[in-house]
Structure 1
């Protein structure tokens, strides 16, 4: 079982806040709305606002039209035709307004799958940087956050999950994933709340 808190010490200039998919696509009015995204938004706003130049926002970009995506994604977007770009108001792809005002200096990275690593853009952005620690917030805990975290672990990053800045549309699987992070990745994931992270990030 992983110890709670920042067991590997303080945070600093080698730390990057990765905020996963806090978009209108997952807010009120969207077919993919996450009911408690608004609950964690203030924590994300504070973290990103304090460290805007060391924040990267990812955005999930759906397929253009049903059936256009590769492989099993084609079937996925036949099921979710209403959220393809051809059928979706473009505003839903945007970050939530209180976060979009932070970019720049925050960075924005678009992706078409759950992981920000698969298409290579994040690796290219981080190549040559001093970042060795990723502080992760956003949603969903059990889908895109999971993909982000596993990719970061594989690349050797120190990973910090901010407990009160994560959300999911399923309480059950959110809780299950938090238990997985704590119990199975005790050497590679630290779990702390916003107050602890802000206090340690100098």
Structure 2
């Protein structure tokens, strides 16, 4: 071995002893073991990334909570004011009824009173139809349908053709769009 190699080996051995004893400063320790430096910088980068992701998560969570609260409030407002449009259209019909009642007090001809009441009634039906409410018509003679009708009683059918079919409608049924809002109360034949 040459003299230089021996000195380098002694220096490396003394540095390792100094590291074990903690006598080296940070730059000397990094020069001895660069893997420790790489590991700590990777850890620092990961910690920074975790902090950024946590911040991003908290922001997204708070945005979602705000969105959820806002939509819940909008839904509640919509439910409370959903019938406002219909009520505004029915109010003039109530006014018509009030005028008809006043006119009926002085009127002695029953046909005129009936005609006035029918006009107001048809105006109400027309308003409801414009909103999508439809009367279930032409039920008599058709087969009983449990999806749209409620059988309140069953009587002997006048003929064999009416067995299991609707004989009479006690109370009309109504639909709103495709949804039944009131089932028709019917009498069926047995």
Give the TM-score normalised by structure 1.
0.19
Higher helix proportion (structure 1 or 2): 2
Give the TM-score normalised by structure 2.
0.20
Q: Which has the higher contact order (CA 8 A, sep 6+)?
A: 1
